[in-house]
Amino acid sequence: MLAILFSLKISDDDKNELKTNYPKQKFIFCENMDEAKEYINEAEVIVTYGNDLNKTLVEQATRLSWVCVLSAGVDELPFEALEKKDIVVTNVRGIHKVPMAEYAISMLMQVYRSEKILMEKEQNHEWYRSSKPLEISGKTMLIAGTGAIGQEVARLAKAFRMKTIGVSRSGRDLEYFDENVTTDKMKSRLPEADFIVSVLPSTKETKRFYTYDFFEMMKDSAVFLNMGRGDVVESDVIIKAVKEKEIMHAVLDVFEEEPLPENHPLWSLENVTITPHISGISPNYLPRALEILRKNLDTYTKGRSDFINKIDTFRGY
């Protein structure tokens, strides 16, 4: 009997559905890894959010052959230990595409429609008509990271008749992008972009990817939005770029340090919008994640290897 260990909380309805659909498997439901580690030697499959699994636990899990991460981010996994034991790793990338694409469009619109200052004036009961709203329609958007999320952002951008430029390692053509370029060609396209949307993952290649010269090449009217990973750009670089007016505004949902300390200088910058890593939050998150789990569980129990969202443990994504 296959033992499937959960280190995260799911509803009783979801538990019952899994047990009903897979009666031959043994499910061990725990709400966190402190509870789950008691059963680590028994588990052949671990279902986790990824940030609670360390090298020691992987070494202790003598039967482990598959780690199912119910999030897109896998950068905190002990990849060296997983690769050494040839353990399959999957994630649920793609399920965030709807809420994150909606977040991107909504944040760009709030910048262009001066919504921060309008809400401030509303709180003060001021009839304020001196803002200078702009239109996002017909602008140019550059999207760094052309996976499921980037493609959905581009699809929504097309509703506003935007020109869309995709940036990826391969530069391959994809739907909803007018142009696609390789990462090393990104800088040359920055001067034409009104919006730069970053959904880059955290890898060895992307850490501190956006150096200050990237922002120097952007329009001084550009909006930079990061909802991928916080370590792709240093906070000091963002602060300097905004203060030196290299860009008009920065929208940040992810940071090098989370939660962002309450005394961090980013909080006090007028032309920075900060949200607490919530761009992917949706009431549909867990149902979508569990659907991928079920499909991959079918694959696993049938002895196949064609998993959805299989991670390259050497590359880390």
- Residues 264 and 153 occupy one common structural domain: yes
Confirm whether 306 is domain-assigned: no
- Residues 123 and 267 occupy one common structural domain: yes
- Residues 145 and 254 occupy one common structural domain: yes
Domain count, the chain: 2
pLDDT tens track for 234-288: 999 999 999 999 999 999 999 999 999 999 999 999 999 999 999 999 999 999 9
Provide the pLDDT for residue 72: 87
- Residues 119 and 261 occupy one common structural domain: yes
pLDDT tens track for 142-184: 999 999 999 999 999 999 999 999 999 999 999 999 999 999 9
Q: Of 96, 125, 264, 277, which is the active-site residue?
A: 277
Confirm whether 279 is domain-assigned: no
- Residues 121 and 53 occupy one common structural domain: no
* pLDDT exceeds 90 at position 118: yes
Domain range for 75: 3-94+284-301
Provide the pLDDT for residue 254: 98
Confirm whether 201 is domain-assigned: yes
Provide the pLDDT for residue 314: 84
Considering all CA atoms of the chain, what is the largest pairwise distance in Å, rounded to the nearest integer?
A: 68
Q: How far apart are CA 233 and CA 238, in angstroms?
A: 7
Provide the pLDDT for residue 247: 98
- Residues 60 and 11 occupy one common structural domain: yes
DSSP codes of every residue in 131-155: ------TT-EEEEE--SHHHHHHHH
Confirm whether 309 is domain-assigned: no
Local confidence band at 316 (pLDDT 50, 70, 90 cut-offs):
confident
pLDDT tens track for 25-49: 999 999 999 999 999 999 999 999 9
Average pLDDT, the chain: 97
* pLDDT exceeds 90 at position 12: yes
Provide the pLDDT for residue 40: 98
- Residues 21 and 82 occupy one common structural domain: yes
Confirm whether 311 is domain-assigned: no
pLDDT tens track for 181-234: 999 999 999 999 999 999 999 888 999 999 999 999 999 999 999 999 999 999
* pLDDT exceeds 90 at position 317: no
Confirm whether 315 is domain-assigned: no
In the annotation, is 125 catalytic?
no
Provide the pLDDT for residue 188: 97
pLDDT tens track for 278-314: 999 999 999 999 999 999 999 999 999 999 999 999 8
CA atoms within 13 A on the CB side of 197: 29
- Residues 199 and 247 occupy one common structural domain: yes
90: CATH = 3.40.50.720
Q: How far apart are CA 220 and CA 242, in angstroms?
A: 9
Name the percent of the chain lying above pLDDT 90. Answer: 96
Provide the pLDDT for residue 73: 85
- Residues 230 and 291 occupy one common structural domain: no
Provide the pLDDT for residue 304: 96
Which pairs from 252-255 meet CB under 8 Å and 24+ separation? 252/225, 252/226, 253/103, 253/225, 253/226, 253/227, 253/277, 253/278, 253/279, 254/226, 254/227, 254/228, 254/229, 254/230, 255/230
* pLDDT exceeds 90 at position 135: yes
Confirm whether 260 is domain-assigned: yes
* pLDDT exceeds 90 at position 75: no
Local confidence band at 315 (pLDDT 50, 70, 90 cut-offs):
confident
- Residues 128 and 88 occupy one common structural domain: no
- Residues 77 and 140 occupy one common structural domain: no
- Residues 74 and 194 occupy one common structural domain: no
Confirm whether 52 is domain-assigned: yes
